Amino acid sequence: MQVGLDHVLRTHPRLFKGKRLGILAHPASIDKNYRHILEILEKESGAKIEALFGPEHGFDGHAQDMESVFEKHTTSKSGPQIYSLYGSTYESLKPQKSWLNNIEVLVCDMQDVGSRYYTFIYTLAFCMEVAQQTGTHIVVLDRPNPINGYNVEGNLVSEKFRSFVGYFPLTNRHGMTIGELAQLFREEFNLKCKLTAIPMKGWHRRRYFDELKIPWVFPSPNMPTVETAVVYPGMCLLEGTELSEGRGTTRPFEIFGAPFIDGEKLVKRLHEFRLPGVRFRPLSFKPGFQKHAGKICNGAQIHVTRRKAFLSLLTGVAILKATYELYPNEFQWRHRAYEFVEDIPAIDLLSGNKQLREAIEAGAALKKIQASWEEEKESFLKIRKNYLIYT
């Protein structure tokens, strides 16, 4: 098993030698020997590295979610410039044209987690958009979808609800790698830059990351393990509420709750849904930061018992539905600005439309909500199959 970074200098040396390079990466951009892409390309590519670009959380991965990063400095007196692609405005999410004018090749090497909310894939798309204008060659070094590249779940993002957590009409769990997505973006959404995706060797679609003999480095501060990524396509929906999704604890997205919840009562209701591949356990926790920081929250921990049967999105929706049913007076949707959008509720941005929120408020059956995704999922599958690299 080799990621793109493991073999690109051996199989595609001409992409880099003598070129002016930019690197879009983060701490998880390492090879099988734990060496970071910057170290490798500096020493072995024969290229001049002109600039480094950091997605959300920063090039060095220190920032929390939605925390502005103001990187515009050099790594040393003679080192490359570092630019942030996640500042304080929506405009800061795209590289300025002047930043790419002098770059012949922008190497993109980021570990995605398989969910459309995860913003790295849109940072890549925005770089592709600007690269059309500057003539910069985008080279994507592919990495595994950590929750497998086979299972797909969810609906599409409607045009009115496009944002940085859902810029293109992808399903919530898309079942693609970042290299496959780059090719889909280019052809389906008219990002006609010069693009080369360097495939992995030895990866198969049904494999999870922890089944591979390669190191896991958490790609963002609240994505510490593969188990986190497994539950994320459903549990990220809690960011659209005032429930704690476990940020500020050691098990983000695997635990959830709020001060007003009775964990035993909530778990009893969740088990009545008979969700596949999952059990819930009541618990109490105290977040160290973000929602309900310093307060005792009651809720539950998700225990995935059969990963291949587990439906993360359906589970996340069931949690929203159960909490709304049990605590209609205390439950709140998030109405504060979310990912630079102030006039659309965060839950609508995450779910891609207003239908999920309205269905939960109307008491719609969980199976009816799940069935509402199927038509859009099938349409996505027809497009998706044209860009799959691996079997």
* Predicted structure pTM score: 0.97
pLDDT of res. 234: 98
For residue 174, what are its two tokens? Answer: 């898309």
pLDDT-based confidence at 79, cuts 50/70/90?
A: confident
Q: Which residue has better confidence, 243 or 77?
A: 243
Residue 53: in which H helix or E strand, if any? strand 48-54
Cα 185 to Cα 176: distance, rounded to the nearest angstrom? 12
For residue 127, what are its two tokens? Answer: 């770089």
pLDDT of res. 70: 85
pLDDT tens by residue, 337-386: 999 999 999 999 999 999 999 999 999 999 999 999 999 999 999 999 99
Residue 291: in which H helix or E strand, if any? none
pLDDT tens by residue, 254-288: 999 999 999 999 999 999 999 999 999 999 999 99
pLDDT tens by residue, 209-234: 999 999 999 999 999 999 999 999 99
Q: Phi/psi zone of residue 116: left (φ > 0), alpha (ψ -120 to 50 degrees), beta? A: alpha
pLDDT of res. 217: 98
Q: Facing residues of 153 across strands? A: 173
pLDDT tens by residue, 285-336: 999 999 999 999 999 999 999 999 999 999 999 999 999 999 999 999 999 9
pLDDT of res. 123: 98
Structural domains of the chain sorted by starting position, each given as residue range(s) with its CATH number in brackets: 4-222 (3.40.50.12170), 226-372 (3.90.1150.140)
Residue-averaged pLDDT of the chain? 97
pLDDT-based confidence at 40, cuts 50/70/90?
A: very high
Amino acid (1-letter code) at residue 248: G
Q: Can you give the three-state secondary structure of 74-118, one letter per residue?
A: ECCCCCCEEEECCCCCHHHHCCCHHHHHCCCEEEEECCCCCECCC
pLDDT-based confidence at 93, cuts 50/70/90?
A: very high
Q: Minimum mean pLDDT among 12-16, 71-75, 189-193, 324-328: which range?
A: 71-75
> Strand order of the sheet with strand 297-304?
255-258, 297-304, 278-285
pLDDT of res. 146: 98
Whether pLDDT at 73 is above 60: no
Cα 322 to Cα 300: distance, rounded to the nearest angstrom? 12
pLDDT of res. 77: 56
Whether pLDDT at 74 is above 70: no
